[in-house]
Every structure is written in C-alpha cells, then in structure tokens.
Chain A
C-alpha cells in the first residue's frame, strides 16, 4: 500500500513554462487536496476534489488548474509559471471529507521558478 505518491520530487522551471504535478492515491479515497507550503508558513489549500469529475477552489487557486478524471489521480497544472509559485506542493487524500477526518499526505514536490 503506497498511500499518496507524488512526482516529480523536485523541478526547476523558467518563468512562463508550464508543468503538471502528478498525484496518485491507492486508498480509494473520495477526497483529494492540493496544498502549497511556503517557507516559514503553514499549508494553504489550492484546490480540492470530492470525487471524480468534481473540483473546487481553495484559498489560493490563482495560477493553477486541476482535473479529476479518476478516483486515484488528481494532477495539478501550472500554465504560466511565476516566481511566486516557488514552493513545496503537497497532495493529500481522505475518505469521507468530514471535519474529524484524517488527511494522508504525499511526500511533496519542491518547485523552483527562476
């Protein structure tokens, strides 16, 4: 049971380039989330999904897009990379989306935009 996996682990982008951060979970969870973690800050929610075909914006969605075509996968797309998007990105999943639910996190993708 791998849990939540993310690729790549690290990437350097030039300003204006695009890329997709991959996230896969094998726990059959309905809910999936993308967060970013800036230095010295807590995690901020970018987008989330309550099931295949359903996505919604979180606190900081600008500059990102997501899709959820399957239960397992929840890719995050950066269309025009900007230095402000330099961050560590974490994907997470949970079973039921209730307030007391535990979220399970992937190991993160470190992104540097130059």
Chain B
C-alpha cells in the first residue's frame, strides 16, 4: 500500500543553520504531497504542498520539490529560526482519493 517514510528525529540545529528533512514515498499513480507542521500544543497546519511532478511548494522560507524519479519530497530551509521548532509531517494523498497518509513526523529543535 501507499506509505511515507521520513527521517527520524530529533533534528537539532543552531539558529541560521540550513535544514533538510528527508521524505520519500511509495504510491501508485501520481499522489499529491504535503508538509504539515505541528507547533507545541497545537494541531497540524499545512506548510506547503505540491500536486504534480517537478512542482515546488514554498511557504515561510521552506521549500520542497516533488521529485517523481526519486519518489521524494524533501523539506529545506536556508536559515532556520528558533520559532521553527516544531514537528514536521510529510504526507500524501493518493490519486483519486482525499485520504492523507502521514509519515511518523520529524521533531526539529532550533537553539539560539
């Protein structure tokens, strides 16, 4: 079945460091891909998404590119801030369905 694999956390960085969180997926057809973020004590909120191959989603300085050839959707940010500390979830919704399948989440901790 469809699945999402994320790198395990926690990822610990100093402020202004470069961030990469890896995400790969397995799916039939052409899924839509998402990154959701969960700040402490809150629900998930959409960070960015991409709906077809080679699309790049971006928001708040974060970017991810839909790579069909490597079945990946890695999250990147050039310079992280303390306020980016959160849990990041990669997710997909398979072709012809609205059901989200989530990865296990990656905790990011950014220190001043």
A residues whose Cβ falls under 8 Å from a Cβ of B: 4, 31, 40-45, 48, 58, 90, 92, 94, 96-108
Q: How far is the CA of A107 from the CA of B55 in the complex (A)?
A: 30
B91 surroundings in chain A (CB, below 8 A)? 42
Interface size bucket, B side?
Answer: 20 to 34
B68 surroundings in chain A (CB, below 8 A)? none
Given the known inter-chain contacts A99-B31, A100-B51, please indicate yes or no for A42 contacting B4, CB distance below 8 A: yes
B99 surroundings in chain A (CB, below 8 A)? 45, 48, 58
CB contact between B44 and one of A40, A44, A90 (< 8 Å): that residue: A90
A106 surroundings in chain B (CB, below 8 A)? 43
Q: How far is the CA of A96 from the CA of B93 in the complex (A)?
A: 13
Q: How far is the CA of A13 from the CA of B99 in the complex (A)?
A: 29
User: Shortest beta-carbon distance, B9 to chain A, in Å?
Assistant: 10
**Interface membership of B77, Cβ < 8 A:** no
Which of A48, A90, A100 is most buried by chain B, counting CB atoms within 10 A of its CB? A100
